[in-house]
Structure 1
Amino acid sequence: MKAKIFHPSMLGFLVLAIGSLAGLTSCQNYLEEQPSTLIDSDYIYTTEDGLKSGVVSLYKFNRDRYDRDVEDFMGSVFMSSKSDLAFSRTGYVGNIGRYQRGISPLDLGARFASTLFWKHFYNITNKATEIINAADAIEGVDEDARNQILAEAKFFRANSYFYLYRLYNNIFVSTETITVENAFDVVNDKSSEEEIFAVLNSDLDFAIEHLEWNDTFGRVTKGTAKHLKAKVAMWEGDWEEAKNQALDVIESPDSPHSLVSNTAQVFEGERNHSESLFVIQAKDDLLGGGNNSMINANYVTQYFQISGIEATVAQGGRGFSRILPNRYLQSLLAADSLDTRDDDTYFRLNYFYTSGDRIGERVDTYAPVTDLDSISDTYQRYYQRQHPSCIKFAQDDDNPDSYRNRSNIMVYRLAETYLIAAEAIMRSSGDPLPYINAVRKRAKAAPLMSVDEQAILDERARELAFEGQRWFTLKRMGQEVIDRQITTYAGDGVFFPANLGEKDPRDNWKSYYINFPIAQIDLDLLGAGYPQNDGY
C-alpha cells in the first residue's frame, strides 16, 4: 500500500466534504435535512450521527457525475458513446465517441475525464477513507451501527477504485486518511495490481459480511456488494469466485432479488423492484434531491421536430440525438423477431404522429441509407429525427417539453448478475445455459443451445447496452476483443458517409486507447516518475 497519497484536489476536498454534508444526515425515505449550523468536522468524525451523515454524503458525491452539466451532462453518457454499440452523432460527446477527443493527456476531452472520473472517484475514495478510519477509531458507538457505516463506506471506496482501475489502469490506492500534514506528500508510482485488488477484495468482503439483503431503496445492500465482488473477480480471472458470488445473489434463499417478469417493467417508474441492485436516486423539490440532467436527451432523437408529432414520454421525451444505437446493435436486437427489448421497452424503433391527418400512423418522413449505390439525400435527417433511440432513461413523470429531467438511474441490476454467472460458469465448470436463457426468456427470445464468448458478448449487448458497462466488458475480455469489436462495429461506417474519414471511430481507434490517458493536469501533480499509460 502506498503511504503517500497526494491528490490535486485533496486540500480543497477537505473543505468541500464538510460543506457538502450540510442538509445530509440519514436515508430514511430519502435524505433528511439537518441544519447546517450543526455540521462541522468535529460532529462528522467524532459522533455516530456525524459518521452516518458522512455515509449519506457518499451517495451524494457518487451522484455528482450525473448531475454535472459539463457539455450537455456528458458524464452520464461518456462511456456509452465509446462502445461498439453506439453511433455518436454530434456534440462534444460525439467527438469522444469517435475517438477524436479524450485521446491525449493535453486535450480538452482528457480534462473533462479528469473532472468526471479521475477527480470525481478519488474524491469519493478519500472521503470514504476518512469515514472508515474515523469509524474504526471512535469509541462508544453501537457495533451494529459502526459496521453498517464501515460497510457502506467500504463499498463506495471499492466501487470508486474499481472504476478508476478499469479506466486508467495506472492508479494508486491508499487506506490512509488525508490530513493537512500529509496532503502534499507526493505519489511517486502507481499501485501494483496485487495492491489494488487487495483493497477491493478486503473492502467488499467486509461489506458483504455486514450489509443486509434488504435496506431502504437506494442504499447499497449485501446483493449490491456481492454483485460488485463478482465483477471484480471477473477482472481477476477468478471464475469460481465470480460464479459463487453471482449465484448467491440469484439463488440464495435470503436474497430478495429476482428478474421482473417482462422487459417493460425493468425501467418503469422509480426502478424500485426486485431486479434493482443499485439505483442512484434523484427527487424533485427536495434538498439533496439531485439536479436535472440530460442523460435521456442524449439518447433520444429529435422526432418532435417533424410536423405532426409532439414530444411525449411514451415516445422517449425530448432529445437531441447525440448517441444512438448503431446498425450492429440493431441487428443483434432483430436477430429474434419475438425479442421484446426493441419493442418500445429498451429501445424505440418507430415514432407515430400525434396530430394532423395522419394521427396514429408511423412516421416515415426520412429514409436511411439502404443502398450504398444510391444514398438517400435525407439520411442525415433520418439519424437526427427518426433513428431508433434508447429509452431506458426516460421516466414516467419526466417533462416531455424539457431536455432536462430528474430521474433515477439504474447502475447495477440482476440481469447483469445472471450474465456474469453464465460467463463465469462457461469459463469454469457447470452449465451456463439456464442463466443466459433466463434473461432471454424474460425478453421472449428463443433459448440458446450453446454458449461461447461471442454469445455472452451478444447477449450483454442486447440486455445492457447504453448502461455504461459495454466498454469495460470489451476491455476485460482482452486487447484482441476490444480491437476487433471497435474497428468492426463502432459507429455506422458507410451507412453514415458524413462520418467517414477523420470522424470514423473504426479508423480512429488505436490499441493503446484501451487505457485512458491520465490528464497532464493530474500527472503534473504526481511524482516526477509517475507513469503515464503506454502510447500517450
Structure 2
Amino acid sequence: MIKYTYKSLGKCLLVLLAFTFITSCSKFLDEQPSTSIDANYVYNTEDGLKSGVVSLYKYNRDRYDKSQEDFLAAHMMASRSDLAFNRSGYLGLMGRYERGVSPIEYSATLLSDSFWRHYYRLSTKSTEIINAAEDLDDIEDDVRNTIIAEAKFFRAEAYFWLYRMFNNIYVNTESVTVDNAFDIINSNSSPEEILSLINSDLQFAIDHLEYTGTFGRVTKGTAKHVKAKVAMWEGNWAEAKNQAESLINEGPYSLVSKTSDVFKGNMDHSEQLFVIQFEENVLGGGSRNFLNANMGVKYWLAPDSESRAEYGGRGYSRLLPNNYLLDLLAEDPDDDRDNNTYFITKYYYSSGPNIGQEIDLYQPITDLDNPSDTYKQYYERTHPACLKFAQEDNDPTTYFQISNVMIYRLAETYLIAAEANMRLGGDGLSYINAVRERAGAAPISTLDEQAILDERARELAFEGHRWFTLKRMGQVVINNQIRNYAGDGEYFPANLGAKDPRTNWQDHYINFPIPQRDLDLLGDSYPQNIGY
C-alpha cells in the first residue's frame, strides 16, 4: 500500500508558501512578479503549474548548493567508494566511515538535511504539482502531460535516491492536506511498491517528453537513461538493454569526440543528458560554492608556484583519486583521462629557477621500508586531482567557484548497454570500446564484471555513481572493493587504524541509517535498517 507522507500542519502550509519564492536560471522561465504568485496561482493555473515545475529544478539543485560542512552533500557519495582517498575535513570523516554510520550523531543531521528530508521534500512538491495538474480543467492535454512528466521524473528520481541509500523507505502519491497532515506512517513500502511507482513515473516521462528541449531541463533521454539505471538495479537486464540501446540509437545524442570536451564550458553538448545549471548574478542561478575546492589540491603552496586556472584554481585537498584508480588509468599509456581532462597528474613551477619544470619537492610513498618524509605534503600539494568540477574561467585566487554540474551523460548509457548485453550472454564490447577508444585507450577483447567495474571507474569516477554501482552488484562485490581498495591503505600510514576505510567498513553500511530525528516522526513500528 502506498503511504501518506508525514507532515505537521505547519509543514503543510510551508509546502504551499514555498512556491511564492519560485526561482530559476535565466533560461528557464519568464519571471512572475512575486506579489502575483500565491498557492492558488501555482496550483490552479497553467502558468502557475509551469512555474511550480521550474521550482523543482531549484529544489533538486539545493543539495549541490547547500553549504553545510563545505558543501559535503554534493560529494559525499563520491567520497564513499573504492576510488577515493579522503584526506581531511568532514567529507573525509564521512568517506572513511568514521561518521554517517549512526542514526543519532551530528552526521545523521547532515544525512537528514541533505538526503532524507531533501528528497522527501522534492517528492512531496512533485506530487503536489502532479495532482494539481491532473485536476485542472482549463489546460490543453499536451501541456498538462508535459507538466506532469517533468514532475513525475523528479518524483521518480527522488524515490530512487532514497531507496538506494536508505532501503526502508515509504512512497506516497497523495497531496498533503489538512485532513491527512497528521497521519502517521507505521511501515515502509515494499520494494515492489517502490520500484513500481518509480518505473511508472519514468515511463510517463518517456511517453510525454521530447528528446530535445531547453538546456538544463529533463528530456525523454534523461528519463530513458534513469529508467535503464533502475532496470539495472532490478536485475532486469533486458529492459536496461532496451532503454540504453534505444537512447543510443534513436536519440539525438552522441559521445563528444574528445574527453577534454566532456566537462568543458557549460557542458551543453551532444553527450549531456542532464546538467544542473549554476549561473552567477542571475535570479535563482545558484551561488558560488566549494565543490571544486574539495577536489583540488594546494599545489600553489609549493615554492615558486601560484594558483592557476588551468589546474582547477585553488583546491583544499579533501577528496582525491586513490592509487587504485590512478593505477587503472595508467594501465594503458595512451588513455588520456588522466591527462588534464578528467584528472590532473602533474604541476609545474610558474616562477624561479625551475620555471616550467614539474614540481618535484614532494614524493609519495613507493617503498614502505623507506617512506618519503614528504608524503604528507605530496597528498596535500601535488597529488593528482579531479578536474570535473573546475570552472573553465575560474578565479584562481579563491576557493569559491560557480560552474554547472554534470548529472547524467551518454558515456554511462554506453556502459549500461555493455553490461546489460554481457549479463544477457550477448556482446557488449562495441559499447565499452566506444568509450575506451574516445579516451585513446586500446579496445578490449573480453568482457566480464570486473572489466565493467574498471571501465566505470576510469570514465565515471567522482560523478556520484560508484557507491551505488557497488551496492547494486551485491554485498560480496561492495565488501571486496571497499575492503581492498578504498583509501590508500598502507601507502598513507596516517590513514591506518581509525582513519582506514578498509577496516572501518561493516557489512550493514550497505544501507545508510535512517536519521533518528526522522524515524521519530514515523510510527513506533517503522523499521530502522539492520545493524543500526
What is the TM-score when the length of structure 1 is the normalising length?
0.97
Amino acid at match of 2:321: P
Secondary structure at the counterpart of residue 411 of structure 1 = strand
Structure 1, 524-533 or 11-20: larger mean CA deviation = 11-20
Give the aligned partner of residue 423 of structure 1: 419
Give the aligned partner of residue 84 of structure 1: 82
Give the aligned partner of residue 523 of structure 1: 519
| Cα separation, 1, equivalents of 2:90 and 2:97 | 11
| Cα separation, 1, equivalents of 2:497 and 2:154 | 41
Q: Which runs of 5+ in 1 are unaligned?
A: none
Give the aligned partner of residue 108 of structure 1: 106
Check 1:3–1:504 CA distance in 2 against 1; reply closer, same or farther (3 A cut): closer
Structure 1, 11-20 or 491-500: larger mean CA deviation = 11-20
Q: Cα offset for 1:452? A: 0.2
Determine if contact 1:325/1:388 at 8 Å carries over to the other structure: yes
Q: Which runs of 5+ in 2 are unaligned?
A: none
Give the aligned partner of residue 410 of structure 2: 414
Q: Cα offset for 1:488? A: 0.2
Determine if contact 2:22/2:55 at 8 Å carries over to the other structure: no
| Cα separation, 2, equivalents of 1:346 and 1:33 | 36
Q: Cα offset for 1:11? A: 3.9
Give the aligned partner of residue 229 of structure 1: 227
Task: List per-residue Cα deviations over 1:80-123 (Å, max 9, x = no partner).
Answer: 11100000000011000110000011111121011000000000
Question: Are 1:489 and 2:488 an aligned pair?
Answer: no
Determine if contact 2:298/2:317 at 8 Å carries over to the other structure: yes
Give the aligned partner of residue 350 of structure 1: 346
> Could you tell me which of 515, 524, 528 is aligned with 1:532?
528
Give the aligned partner of residue 97 of structure 1: 95
Give the aligned partner of residue 464 of structure 2: 468
How does 1:284-299 map onto structure 2 within 5 Å? Answer: 284-299=280-295
Check 1:36–1:293 CA distance in 2 against 1; reply closer, same or farther (3 A cut): same
**Fraction of identical pairs, as percent:** 60
Determine if contact 1:487/1:509 at 8 Å carries over to the other structure: yes
Determine if contact 1:95/1:101 at 8 Å carries over to the other structure: yes
| Cα separation, 2, equivalents of 1:7 and 1:512 | 29
Give the aligned partner of residue 261 of structure 2: 265
Q: Cα offset for 1:267? A: 0.2
Q: Cα offset for 1:20? A: 4.8
| Cα separation, 1, equivalents of 2:30 and 2:401 | 22
Secondary structure at the counterpart of residue 148 of structure 1 = helix
> Could you tell me which of 138, 146, 149 is aligned with 1:148?
146
Secondary structure at the counterpart of residue 87 of structure 1 = strand
Question: Are 1:432 and 2:428 an aligned pair?
Answer: yes
Task: List per-residue Cα deviations over 1:124-154 (Å, max 9, x = no partner).
Answer: 0000000000000000101111111000000
Secondary structure at the counterpart of residue 77 of structure 1 = helix
Q: Cα offset for 1:29? A: 2.3
Q: Cα offset for 1:467? A: 0.2
Determine if contact 2:412/2:460 at 8 Å carries over to the other structure: yes
Structure 1, 470-479 or 305-314: larger mean CA deviation = 305-314
Q: Cα offset for 1:30? A: 3.6
Give the aligned partner of residue 60 of structure 1: 58
> Could you tell me which of 157, 160, 170 is aligned with 1:159?
157
Determine if contact 2:25/2:282 at 8 Å carries over to the other structure: no
| Cα separation, 2, equivalents of 1:34 and 1:401 | 37
Give the aligned partner of residue 6 of structure 1: 6
> Could you tell me which of 393, 397, 404 is aligned with 1:397?
393
| Cα separation, 2, equivalents of 1:209 and 1:190 | 29
| Cα separation, 2, equivalents of 1:247 and 1:14 | 44
Q: Cα offset for 1:356? A: 2.1
| Cα separation, 2, equivalents of 1:527 and 1:376 | 56
Question: Are 1:44 and 2:60 an aligned pair?
Answer: no
| Cα separation, 1, equivalents of 2:356 and 2:136 | 64
Amino acid at match of 2:18: G
Q: Cα offset for 1:393? A: 0.6
Give the aligned partner of residue 454 of structure 2: 458
Structure 1, 302-311 or 66-75: larger mean CA deviation = 302-311
Give the aligned partner of residue 204 of structure 1: 202
Amino acid at match of 2:174: E
How does 1:130-141 map onto structure 2 within 5 Å? Answer: 130-141=128-139
Task: List per-residue Cα deviations over 1:219-275 (Å, max 9, x = no partner).
Answer: 0000000000000001111000000000011011xx110000010000000010000
> Could you tell me which of 242, 246, 256 is aligned with 2:252?
256
What is the TM-score when the length of structure 2 is the normalising length?
0.98
Give the aligned partner of residue 378 of structure 1: 374
| Cα separation, 2, equivalents of 1:36 and 1:170 | 39
Secondary structure at the counterpart of residue 102 of structure 2 = coil
How does 1:151-190 map onto structure 2 within 5 Å? Answer: 151-190=149-188
Amino acid at match of 2:106: L
Q: Cα offset for 1:14? A: 4.1
Give the aligned partner of residue 19 of structure 1: 18
How does 1:230-249 map onto structure 2 within 5 Å? Answer: 230-249=228-247
| Cα separation, 2, equivalents of 1:34 and 1:480 | 53
Q: Cα offset for 1:36? A: 0.7
Check 1:27–1:398 CA distance in 2 against 1; reply closer, same or farther (3 A cut): closer
| Cα separation, 1, equivalents of 2:112 and 2:421 | 36
Task: List per-residue Cα deviations over 1:370-412 (Å, max 9, x = no partner).
Answer: 1000111111111011100001110212221111111100000
Give the aligned partner of residue 480 of structure 1: 476
| Cα separation, 1, equivalents of 2:328 and 2:7 | 43
Question: Are 1:388 and 2:387 an aligned pair?
Answer: no
Task: List per-residue Cα deviations over 1:161-215 (Å, max 9, x = no partner).
Answer: 0000000000000100012321111110000011001100110110000000000
Name the count of aligned residue pairs: 532
Q: Cα offset for 1:454? A: 0.3
Structure 1, 305-314 or 114-123: larger mean CA deviation = 305-314
Q: Cα offset for 1:31? A: 4.5
Question: Are 1:280 and 2:276 an aligned pair?
Answer: yes
Secondary structure at the counterpart of residue 300 of structure 2 = helix
Task: List per-residue Cα deviations over 1:482-519 (Å, max 9, x = no partner).
Answer: 00000000000111001101110000000000000001
| Cα separation, 2, equivalents of 1:207 and 1:251 | 19
Determine if contact 2:7/2:176 at 8 Å carries over to the other structure: no
Amino acid at match of 2:34: S
Check 1:14–1:278 CA distance in 2 against 1; reply closer, same or farther (3 A cut): farther
Q: Cα offset for 1:357? A: 2.1
| Cα separation, 1, equivalents of 2:117 and 2:31 | 27
Give the aligned partner of residue 510 of structure 1: 506
Amino acid at match of 1:133: N
